[in-house]
Amino acid sequence: MPGSRHASKGLDDVVVGTSEISWVGGETGDLVYRGFDVRTLVPGVPYESIAHLVLHGDPPESDPSPEVVRALRENERVPAAIERVVDALSPELPPLDALRTILSSLGDGSYGYPPRLAEGYRLIARTPVLLARFVRRTRGEPPVAPRPDLSHAANYLWMLSGAVPEPARAAALDGYLSLLADHGMNASTFALRTAISTQSDLVSAATAALATLKGPVHGGAPSLVSDMLDAIGTSDRAERWIRERLAGKQVFFGFGHRAYKTDDPRALVLHRIAREVAEPSRLALAESVERDVLAALRAAKPGARLYTNVEFWSAVVLEAVGLPRELFTPTFAVARTTGWTAHALEQARDNRLIRPDIEYVGPPKGREWPRPRSAR
């Protein structure tokens, strides 16, 4: 291998370009959208305005962003040809598998290169509409059309349940969506940018992103936090459960992050949101588990910088909002369609094929097939 090449299996030490969208300060515990600390935005600035900021670079003229509100309303009606595909999906399908096919089915041949903002609004608007449609089918319930008077977050809950959500729940989900709207470079955003780098289209790239988000190492684990809380049951059982699990060298879900070496700012804000909406007993359980797990991990590995990650408090908030566990990761994707759109547009503006090399370490050239080739 020539000396000028850089070997890196996980690419952790490789910087694949520049971005103006968001900054993840792993050492300082920062998440910044276009210069705005997310802790100063959430709760309070609605998701529609966060989307405006992430997509355009500046805040809208008023909240919620009139442009985004209008664009989402205009795009929520889905063509019947796409609804037919969603209605053909087996109700047995896990929602995350269904969502991959839903995202792909949005691509009706009209998405081109370069990607356009209008295509992004279609993606952002239609993802929750079709996901909710699928979920209701799995319960044998007819679809619920979006309501133009509800926010993006409230509409999602409305389309899932057929009931207008309590304002506190809608606000909690709005905060969750805003906090998860973008997160610098990560595996799914990278897969999306790789797809765009071949001059593929936004729907294809978003499908690649979802396919990558699906892995539990990236987006697929928040429901395991809820399972863990259930397994512990009550606050007084936390310490013993944790001790036994630690002795068995098993992992704890919701702790540790590749980027953050301090508190994940999203976890801090989601904890605050959880205090507003979670059942008091569930909140108390989560708080004791968090405290006891961190104490146990720090005692077991002195010096290790282990903190609660976004999944822990996401699970508590999404539970409190009324979402079933199998929708936790799909809802993450609903939030992230905004960031994916921004990254696709940015990648296309100064595009270059993303294609690393791999070192071949197989048998050297020169092997011979053991039989004569057939004459053709």
State which of residues 66, 73, 113, 114 lies at the interface with a second copy (CB under 8 A): 113
CA distance 51 to 348: 19
77 lies in the binding site for a second copy (CB under 8 A): no
Taking contact as CB under 8 A, which single stretch among the options 117-125, 127-135, 150-158, 215-223 is the one that binds a second copy?
215-223
Sites for a second copy among residues 56-75 (CB under 8 A): 57, 59, 62-63
Question: What is the CA 129 to chain-centroid distance, rounded?
Answer: 17
Comparison of 88 and 299: residue with beta carbon closer to a second copy: 88
CA distance 267 to 307: 9
State which of residues 74, 77, 87, 281 lies at the interface with a second copy (CB under 8 A): 87
Taking contact as CB under 8 A, which single stretch among the options 80-88, 126-134, 244-252, 280-288 is the one that binds a second copy?
80-88
Comparison of 209 and 316: residue with beta carbon closer to a second copy: 209
Torsion 318-321-325-331 (CA) sign: negative
CA distance 43 to 274: 12
Per-residue mark of binding to a second copy, 286-325 (x: CB under 8 A): ----------------------------------------
Which residue(s) pair with 32 in the sheet?
23, 37
What backbone phi and psi angles, to 5 degrees, belong to 94?
-60, 140
234 lies in the binding site for a second copy (CB under 8 A): no
250 lies in the binding site for a second copy (CB under 8 A): no
The answer to whether 368 is a known catalytic residue is no
CB of 156 within 8 A of CB of 327? Answer: no
208 lies in the binding site for a second copy (CB under 8 A): yes
CB of 264 within 8 A of CB of 29? Answer: yes
Comparison of 117 and 294: residue with beta carbon closer to a second copy: 117
* Residue recorded with tokens 């959430």: 42
The answer to whether 20 is a known catalytic residue is no
Comparison of 139 and 355: residue with beta carbon closer to a second copy: 355
Question: In sequence order, what DSSP letters do the residues of 89-105 get, joined into one string?
Answer: S-TTS-HHHHHHHHHHH
- Which of these, 222, 153, 156, 218, lies nearest to 192 by C-alpha position? 218
201 lies in the binding site for a second copy (CB under 8 A): yes
CA distance 370 to 373: 9
246 lies in the binding site for a second copy (CB under 8 A): no
Dihedral of CA atoms 253, 258, 259, 260 in degrees, nearest 10, equals 40
Which residue(s) pair with 282 in the sheet?
none
Sites for a second copy among residues 11-30 (CB under 8 A): 11-25, 30
* Residue recorded with tokens 């809208």: 60
* Local structure of 320: helix, strand or coil: helix
137 lies in the binding site for a second copy (CB under 8 A): no
349 lies in the binding site for a second copy (CB under 8 A): no
Catalytic residue among 52, 257, 271, 343: 257
Q: Name the minimum Å distance from CB 41 to a second copy.
A: 6
215 lies in the binding site for a second copy (CB under 8 A): yes
Q: Name the minimum Å distance from CB 77 to a second copy.
A: 17
Sites for a second copy among residues 161-190 (CB under 8 A): 167-168, 171, 184-188, 190
Catalytic residue among 290, 311, 319, 346: 311
What backbone phi and psi angles, to 5 degrees, belong to 22?
-145, 155
State which of residues 211, 246, 283, 297 lies at the interface with a second copy (CB under 8 A): 211
CA distance 74 to 60: 18
342 lies in the binding site for a second copy (CB under 8 A): no
Residues taking part in catalysis: 257, 311
